[in-house]
Structure 1
Amino acid sequence: MIHLDVKKLGRIPDGGGWWAHGRGSRQALASERAHKQRGGYTARANQPPASRTPGCRITNFHISTLLRSAYPLFGSNRKVGWLYLPSRTPWKDIMSLVITGATGQLGRQVVETLLERNVPPQEIVAAGRAVEKIADLAQRGVHVRKLDYTDAASVGKALKGASKVLLISGSEVGQQVEQHRTVIEAAQREGIQLIAYTSIANADGSGMKLAVEHQATETLLEQSGVPFVLLRNSWYLENYTDQLPGVLAQGALVGSAGNGRVSAASRADYAQAAAAVLLADDQAGRIYELGGDKPFTMAELAAEISAAAGKHISYQDLPPREYAAMLVRVGVPEGGAEILADSDLGIARGDLLVNSGDLSRLIGRPATSMAEAVRSAVAAI
Structure 2
Amino acid sequence: MNVHHQAGSTAQSESAAEPERSLRVMLYSHDTFGLGHLRRSRALASALTAADPKASAIILTGSPVAGRFTFPERVDHMRLPGVTKLPDGTYVSQTLGLDIDDTTNLRSGLIQTAVEQYEPDLLIVDKEPTGFRGELLPTLEWLEGRDQTRCVLGLRDVLDAPSVLAAEWDRKGAVAATERFYDQIWVYGPRSVYDPTEGLQLSEATRARIYWTGYLRREVIDAADTPDTPYVLITPGGGGDGQAMVSLVLEAYEKDPTLKPDAVLVYGPFLSGEVREAFEARVAKLNGRVTAVGFDAKIEALFAGAEGVVCMGGYNTFCEVLSFDKRAVIVPRTIPRLEQWIRASRAEELGLVRMLDEERDGMTPETMIAFIRGLPSQRKPSHAGANGLLDGLDVVVARAAQLMADK
What TM-score comes out, normalization by structure 1 length? 0.38
What TM-score comes out, normalization by structure 2 length? 0.36
Larger relative contact order (Cα-Cα within 8 Å, sequence gap ≥ 6): 1
